[in-house]
């Protein structure tokens, strides 16, 4: 599913493509989500939009229709497998195209928020949120009450 050059199938998985093809992203996320060893999924440095792909690589690598299909994959994975999923949409791009990229980033952020998927601006904040969720679950399972 993942190209041999520039990718990694360890944790974290690196698909070596910031703008993943539809036929790659869904099977990779499905495989990860099926594992009993995976409790949560964090997606980062993936650009799921037409404008972001223009900014990153200089041309639109996906069509408008493919953009919506890519955007819907994380929703489907979360619903199908019931595992927490968070997305990191960083604010790290700079330069003359930053305004267009920021508008697209906000569009994606708002889409995922509206569909119940948290979005964080940094990997650190996303990791802290997952850690808090894990600790909360442990307390619930152990029967410890909040004070």
Give the Cα separation of 47 and 50 in Å (integer): 8
**CB neighbours (10 Å) of residue 12?**
11
Model pTM? 0.76
Q: Where are the alpha helices (DSSP H) in the chain?
A: 22-34, 50-57, 64-81, 98-114, 123-142
Query: What does the pLDDT look like over 35-84, one tens digit per residue?
Result: 998 888 888 866 666 666 666 656 566 677 877 888 899 999 999 999 98
pLDDT at site 14: 63
């Amino acid at each position: 599913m993942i190209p041999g050059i520039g990718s990694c199938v360890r944790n974290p998985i690196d698909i070596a493509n910031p703008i993943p093809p539809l036929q790659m992203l869904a099977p990779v996320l499905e495989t990860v989500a099926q594992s009993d060893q995976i409790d949560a999924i964090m997606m980062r440095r993936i650009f799921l939009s037409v404008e972001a792909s223009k900014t990153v690589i200089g041309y639109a690598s996906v069509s408008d229709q493919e953009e919506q299909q890519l955007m819907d994959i994380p929703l489907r994975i979360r619903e199908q497998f019931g595992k927490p999923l968070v997305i990191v949409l960083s604010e790290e791009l700079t330069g003359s195209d930053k305004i267009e990229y920021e508008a697209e980033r906000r569009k994606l952020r708002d889409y995922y928020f509206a569909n119940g998927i948290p979005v964080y601006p940094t990997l650190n904040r996303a990791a802290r949120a997952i850690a808090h969720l894990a600790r909360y679950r442990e307390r619930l399972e152990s029967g410890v009450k909040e004070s």
